[in-house]
Structure 1
Amino acid sequence: MRVVAKFGGTSLGNGDRVERAADSITAAVENGHEVAVVASAMGSTTDFLLDEIQYEADEADRAEIVSMGERTSVRMLKGALSARGVNAVFLEPGSDDWPVITNEHGEVDVEESTRRAKALAEQMHNDHVVPVITGFLAQDHAGNITTLGRGGSDTTAVMLGSYMDADEVVIVTDVEGVMTGDPRVVEGARNVGEITVDELRNLSFRGAEVVAPSALTYKEGDLSVRVVHYQHGDLMTGGTSIEGEFENLIDLQEDRLSCVTVAGRAIRNRPGILSELSTALAEEDINIDAVSSGMDSITFYVATDVAEEAEALLHEKIIGSETLSSITVDDPFAVVRITGGDLQAEPGIVNDIVAPLAAEHINVQDVITSATSVAVFVDWENGEDALGLIQDVFED
């Protein structure tokens, strides 16, 4: 089994943890697995180095300076593996076998990086070598050091796992996989055995520090990615398995939708109002397709054939309420949904999506976004035209 194991800064935070990491790698190698290692800077070294740059350093100098954290880690870990009799080598930008190459725009050169990663995988197989690779760092075609941004070590690991045709990527960190909640805040938080990439990406963009969102874009469906705690000690078991892959999809929902809007004074300051209204619909098996809210209103998008029933149910909640004042229904609307793992990383993506609609005088009723999707609501009669215009954006 071919495995890429990434060790985060906390998991290499001191000599004892480096020893623990080396023990787990050695055990996997002795059990017949091919292991490539990606190492982050020890502890908070990168943050320390960045904080100590008190002068106006250009990007090239900054990259050289911050690379020292990862350069130290791979030497420490390679040494610990060699002491255990493991045939290990460390790789950093400038090494002959260095695998991660970027182009003149600072973006990963997929073709060249894939070629190098496959050559490295072949060397692992033929020479029974364990490469210990600096995470976060890359090298351009001129030999200059570049970086992959915050969370870049996760990106290095999943990228190489994909390009090397690995069976699994194991992210070794300071959490016991993905938890049901932050154990520092909620009691009884427990490990989630499995989670999809879409679920985790949404959590990651909203504060969950488990796997860098940029890394998940490199995960393909047949590549297993697992998160384990550094104290677990076994690379091959435990933790949380991240399932599936991002699907880039643009589609037009077939059913007509109606927007049912409830208005009220300072509705945002009324605790439980959203639950109260949505529960009334749920009790009658009315599905809510989407929800948007403003300063003094909440809009539910529901199928047009149940809109009148929804209006009647929510009207009952308005009568006698001091907060709610009125309800209205408008229809029919179409929704175009754009789903993709890279959306959050593309500045101006929402503008890119809606600008062509404005140019064709198509009114946008609503836009609802998440970390991995954008839903654009337009008049029903404009649905097909909107779909075509948005498809053109992504084809370009």
Structure 2
Amino acid sequence: MRIVAKFGGTSVADGDRINRAADSIAAAVEAGHEVAVVVSAMGGTTDVLLDEMKFDATEADRAEIVSMGERTSVRMLKGALEARGIDAEFLEPGRDNWPIITDEYGEVDVDVTRARAEDCAESMANGVVPVITGFLAEDHDGTITTLGRGGSDTTAVMLGNYMAADEVVIVTDVEGVMTGDPNVVEGARNVGEITVDELRNLSFRGAEVVAPSALTYKTGDLEVRVVHHQHGDLLTGGTNIEGEFENLIDLQERELACITVAGRSIRNQPGVLSRLSATLSEAGINVETNSSGLDSITFYVDCEDAKEAETVLHERVVEDEILSSVTLEEGIAVVRVAGGELQDKSGAVNNVLGPLAEEHIYIHDVVTSATSISVFVDWEERERALELLRDVF
């Protein structure tokens, strides 16, 4: 099996942890597996380097300076592996066999990087363990660049993809994906499996497990697993991340209605959304989605449920002194744009809404998540809106 193992900063924070990392790599190699290693800067090193730049450094100088954290880590881990009889080499920008190349826009040059990653995989097949600096890249002129926040995760999953690896193992300071933040909630436990879409949504909303940018490189055939550095085993445990992102533009086939409940400063009134949602649930009415403003909450439901939904919500409005009125609008369609790279691109929402605005298609509402944008338009305009967005994406 071909494995790419990524060790985060806390996993190589000191000599003892570097030794533990080396032991786990050596065990995998001795079990007959091909292993490549991606290493972050030793815990806290990058922050120290950034804090000590008491001057206006150019982007090129900043990249060179912060790269010293990763450059030190790969040398330390390579040395630890050699001490265990493992044939290892460290790879960093500037070396002939460095794999990750960016273009003039700072984006990864896929063709060149893939070819270099395949060369790296050949050395793995010959028993060599490449120890690669995470986070860093190099442009065609040899200038050091970086892959941005979470760049070491991105390095690992990208190379796992381009090397045709069987699995990427993210070694970090959490017990895989947890049901909640163990520092905040009691009884948090490990989640054995989670989909890439679920994790990406959590990552964009603050969960620091795997960088969202890394997940865009995951394919259905590439296994990705998150384990704690204390586990000491690259081959078992942790949380499996399943599936892959699919770029999709689709039109909901059923006609929707929107029901808006108004009330003064609803957003500042705890429990209003819960009470209204419970009212619809008790009536057996499914909510497609909802949106809210300062003084209103809107529910989108199937048109066939619209009259009943309006009736039961009106009953709740009459009973609740916070609420003032309910209104119903039918004939609405929803077009969804979803994709793994959607939120990595600046202006993603504008790219969706712009073509519709240019064609004077009225937009009733826009609801976004970490991986999708839902646009609500008139039912009669649904096919035209779908065609326009397919042309763009």
TM-score normalized by structure 2?
A: 0.99
1:377 aligns with 2:369: no
Instruction: Give how far 1:225 is off.
Output: 0.2
After TM superposition, the structure 1 = structure 2 runs for residues 26-37 of structure 1, keeping only pairs within 5 Å, are 26-37=26-37
Q: Which residue of 2 aligns with 1:283?
A: 282
Q: How far apart in 2 are the matches of 1:98 and 1:312?
A: 66
Q: How far apart in 1 are the matches of 2:264 and 2:105?
A: 50
Instruction: Give how far 1:311 is off.
Output: 0.7
**How well do the aligned residues superpose, as a CA RMSD in angstroms?**
0.8
Instruction: Give how far 1:188 is off.
Output: 0.0
Instruction: Give how far 1:384 is off.
Output: 0.8
Instruction: Give how far 1:97 is off.
Output: 1.3
Q: How far apart in 2 are the matches of 1:66 and 1:317?
A: 58
In structure 2, the residue corresponding to 1:391 is in which secondary structure?
helix
Q: Which residue of 1 aligns with 2:114?
A: 114
1:338 aligns with 2:337: yes
What CA deviation, in whole Å up to 9, does each residue of 1:132-161 have, x standing for no partner?
Answer: 000000111111111101110000000000
| Structure 2 gap segments, 5+ residues each | none
Q: Which residue of 2 aligns with 1:9?
A: 9
Bigger shift: 127-136 or 47-56? 47-56
What CA deviation, in whole Å up to 9, does each residue of 1:265-288 have, x standing for no partner?
Answer: 111122111111111111222111
Amino acid at match of 2:34: E
* Total equivalences in the alignment: 393
In structure 1, the residue corresponding to 2:287 is in which secondary structure?
coil
After TM superposition, the structure 1 = structure 2 runs for residues 81-100 of structure 1, keeping only pairs within 5 Å, are 81-100=81-100
Q: Which residue of 2 aligns with 1:62?
A: 62
After TM superposition, the structure 1 = structure 2 runs for residues 213-292 of structure 1, keeping only pairs within 5 Å, are 213-292=212-291
| Structure 1 gap segments, 5+ residues each | none
Bigger shift: 138-147 or 78-87? 138-147
Q: How far apart in 1 are the matches of 2:235 and 2:279?
A: 47
Q: Which residue of 1 aligns with 2:22?
A: 22
What CA deviation, in whole Å up to 9, does each residue of 1:23-52 have, x standing for no partner?
Answer: 100111110010000000000111111111
Amino acid at match of 2:76: M
Q: Which residue of 1 aligns with 2:210?
A: 211
Instruction: Give how far 1:177 is off.
Output: 0.3
Moved over 2 A (4+): none
Instruction: Give how far 1:226 is off.
Output: 0.3
What CA deviation, in whole Å up to 9, does each residue of 1:83-113 have, x standing for no partner?
Answer: 0000111010111211111111111010111
Q: Which residue of 2 aligns with 1:163?
A: 162
Q: How far apart in 1 are the matches of 2:69 and 2:279?
A: 56
After TM superposition, the structure 1 = structure 2 runs for residues 136-215 of structure 1, keeping only pairs within 5 Å, are 136-215=135-214
Q: How far apart in 1 are the matches of 2:106 and 2:297?
A: 43
Amino acid at match of 1:6: K
Amino acid at match of 1:295: L
Q: How far apart in 2 are the matches of 1:54 and 1:107?
A: 29
Bigger shift: 49-58 or 176-185? 49-58
Bigger shift: 355-364 or 256-265? 355-364
Amino acid at match of 2:363: V
Instruction: Give how far 1:119 is off.
Output: 1.1
Q: How far apart in 2 are the matches of 1:210 and 1:27?
A: 25
Instruction: Give how far 1:320 is off.
Output: 2.2
Q: How far apart in 2 are the matches of 1:387 and 1:121?
A: 42
In structure 2, the residue corresponding to 1:75 is in which secondary structure?
helix
Amino acid at match of 1:78: K
Amino acid at match of 2:138: Q
In structure 1, the residue corresponding to 2:340 is in which secondary structure?
coil
| Identity value in percent | 72
276 and 370 in structure 1: CA distance in 2 versus 1, 3 angstrom threshold: same
Bigger shift: 272-281 or 10-19? 272-281
Q: How far apart in 2 are the matches of 1:335 and 1:196?
A: 24
Q: How far apart in 1 are the matches of 2:358 and 2:128?
A: 58
Q: How far apart in 1 are the matches of 2:383 and 2:55?
A: 54
Q: How far apart in 2 are the matches of 1:323 and 1:109?
A: 56
